Amino acid sequence: MTRPTAPGAAGDVPSRRRRRAPVGASPGTLSSDPAARPTLLHAVGYGPDGVGTWRAVTLAELPELRRRHAVVWLDVTGFADLELLRRIGELFGLHRLALEDAVNLQQRAKFEDYGEHGFLVLRMVDHEAPTATEQLALFVGPGFVVTCQERPGDCFEPIRRRLADPQGRLRTRGSDYLAYALLDLVVDAFFPVVEAIDDRLERVEVAVLEARHGEPVVPELHSLRRQLLALRRALWPLREATAALARGEAPHFGADLQPFLRDVHDHVVQLLDLLENYREMSASLMELHLSTVNHRLNEVMKFLTIFSTIFMPLTFVVGVYGMNFEHMPELHAWWGYPACLLVMAGIAAGMLFWFRRRGWL
């Protein structure tokens, strides 16, 4: 899989490739990219009595984990093993259409209720390239949460630390609260990225206002606008999904979670407002930069035009006396050359005085 380039580069948006089942395939057909990462399973089981963590759990161990713990969080990383993904879907009763959406990347953020479980797909900040995003699919049902992500590494470490705390609220709540906590963390992870964009915009603004012509303003603004577009594409549909959760349209989230879900929705709206402001700011900075460049070019052209206009009569005088015909006046006079220079100097001074009176200088 092609990785995004470094921050600030031209390729700081996720790939536009789509990974979908072949045309004509039956609904729910799983299809993975040949370069997909190996499928790894990481499980956390917890309840009021304790917590257990398994870094490399097998499919055969999952039924026992579900019997021993009130809530099981299974984190699936990589989609190379499609058969393993099918068996996980059968074990947790995941709808095959939802499982297909989880494997096919570049999905639009959405929430769907499949009766036995809820399904949420969204994009989260890529830990390897913070200027890009990767897809996250989240299944929530009675006593379980299943997350599916493209590759290892995520922003969920604070959740894992909270689960390890015996006094933490997560240990005493159900799977719906865990799903909320994961969603809230994914949304909040966008704020540092947006704040970094604000810092870059401030640097560009200073460079434009101080006329630092050596600064790569246009490439930087182009990179920022592409990144803003990618983040907006990731967050805009999430606003609708979180609004549905906040309105209580997801039966898999308890009524006591509605204030928390409304807070997540508010964060999404806040992020979108910031992105819109930064998009307008980047467009304004581009216009200001182009206006500054055009003004500087006009000043140069004005100087060259005035310079050329002053030398036009001087060139005429020199050209006439440079013909050296026999009967030209004052051709052999000793004062002819100084007089010619004084006349040309007077012409230049008069033209400069006239240009200043007209306000052209």
pLDDT in tens, 168-196: 788 888 899 999 999 999 999 999 999 99
Residue type, 260: F
293: nearest Cα among 194, 197, 223, 221: 221
pLDDT in tens, 186-243: 999 999 999 999 999 998 888 888 776 666 788 888 889 889 998 999 999 999 999 9
Q: How far is residue 149's CA from residue 139's CA, in Å, rounded to a whole number? A: 12
Residue 158, Cβ neighbours under 10 Å: how many?
Answer: 12
Instruction: Give pLDDT, residue 238.
Output: 93
133: nearest Cα among 229, 199, 267: 229
Domains of the chain, each with CATH number or no CATH: 40-290 (3.30.460.20), 294-357 (1.20.58)
Q: Would you say 36 and 248 are in contact if contact means Cβ atoms under 8 Å apart?
A: no
Which residues of the chain register pLDDT less than 70?
Answer: 1-29, 31-32, 34, 127-128, 130, 212-215, 321, 323-328, 330-332, 334, 358-361
> What's the token pair of residue 358?
């007209």
Distance in angstroms between the alpha carbons of the first and the last residue of the chain: 60
Q: How far is residue 220's CA from residue 200's CA, in Å, rounded to a whole number? A: 8
Q: What is the pTM of this model?
A: 0.76
